[in-house]
Chain A
Amino acid sequence: METLQHFALLLVGGALVNNILLTRFIGLCPFFGVSGAMETSVGMAGAVVFVMTLATTATWVFWNVLLEPLGVGEFLYIPAFILVIAALVQFVEMYLRKSSPALYRSLGIFLPLITTNCAVLATATESVRPGFFMMGIDYGFGFGEALVYTIGVAIGFGIALISFAALRERLEVAPVPEAMKGIPMAFITAGLLSFGYVGLGGLFGL
């Protein structure tokens, strides 16, 4: 029971309380870049859930099997993680193109974008590096914890992206002052959306 509660907290904490986009500002580029259309946002959200889970799995194993036992994690984790993630995304792209063209068509164009998305690297780093994580846990995650936390974060990313895309569709027809049109207004809207997440702070003592 204890562990179940712990995992549930990790999931909710990652998805809502510490929402990666709106409360921690990680991965904002796609947040403003692809949220113009609902369809691409849904595709992007799906691709992020997929890649983030795979990336954390790979980097967690890489860290715990190779970097940490050899004692080089401290110096090498940045280049090592980014290369593992970049290589992984390349392989996933090649594999999807051959094996599942339908899935490739819906996720494929987002995959190269995700390599340089800080959300993936941030989540991978937080899962293994104690002290970078915000919820009062100061040890590196076990494998199960890392996986659950990552899925939570990715779901939170999807929720925020899709709800923001819905807001921006309405914004297209709203009367906005000339100087504020487009991106500036999108920022103000995102600010108002993130007010909602202030209210979630402190939920379950997270």
Chain B
Amino acid sequence: MNERTVYLDHSATTPVDQRVVDAMLPYFTEAFGNASSLHRFGQAALAGLDTSRRTVAEILHAQPNEIVFTGCGSESDNLALRGVAFALRDRGNHIITTPIEHHAILNTVAQLESKFGFAVTRVPVDRHGVVNPDEIARAITPQTILISVMYANNEVGTIEPLAEIAQIANKRGILFHTDAVQAGGYLDLDVNRLGVDLMSLGAHKFHGPKGIGALYVRSGVPLVPMLTGGGQEKGRRAGTENVPYIVGFAAALKIAQENRDETNTRLSALRDKLVEGLLERIVGAELTGAPKERLPGHASFVIPGVIGDEMVLGLDIAGVAASTGSACTAGSVEPSHVLAAMGYAPDQARGALRLTLGRENTVEDVDYSLGVVADVVNKLRRTS
């Protein structure tokens, strides 16, 4: 098995940058102290923690104490939604979100709805997966305490009009959260320009390690902690700080954001080649998500006459790692909730394919993958 392998699933996760690994390593064995300890070991760890928090804060144009490190992007989403909902339950019980959010959002608001008496409005999206800010405005009631709209969609790459939504939310005095997990490595994270009050990030989407996330919480935003215990993270997230991973988070975010323009220019060009080449080679294939306002490395399609899982499996056997775009359980044929919300019929949605490029991909990778995708689709089409 010495054929070429190409990783085209960067929306699922990315390889950790070697520079990030190098930055993390001393904090496992040398500066291993507990950041809360008074002695020099603790201080060395605390130095890594403080520096990392400052680095992240600078990139977000935020204050260091507005950054809460968490265990992952999902935890950040959970803390934002539940934390705000519980803190403001005396003021109102209404939350606005969209049907195309990650399950970390969808399942959390569903639980707030079913177990804790909150009301949730899921504002529909258009065929490209774009939320209409006017519809958000119309959904607001006197009870509305929180609006949560993702920055960029994981399945179809569409970038949402955050600033416009933020304007609406700010004007009405409603808190605005965004799940920026997919956007973290590629888009502007200036919380003031975006106008967000809370923003979730996860390191492994931008060449950092898994198991570390962050939540930006604007000063003054009330938040009931989910993990209670010691006073870490200013009481917003108890538990001994995971210093090596926090250092890795900051290092990875810094590298990604410093080289953002260059990376995005290159990835967008590769993606356009991938999209054009695939639409040319595969009869009936359709690009899903917004054609222009989408993540730079993100290409997603529906391909008639094939089943997404089977395509992914055939591609894997031929050395190309891809995904259907939905986090469905293996072997089940539940169509994607995102494509359903965008108006795709279950039969169309079953042919979903997501190819997401990352910074180590080359033009040769794209050429090779196009040939493999065409071959796999043609063979599978003959069997159905």
A, B bound = no
Which residues of A are at the interface with B, using a C-beta cutoff of 8 A? none
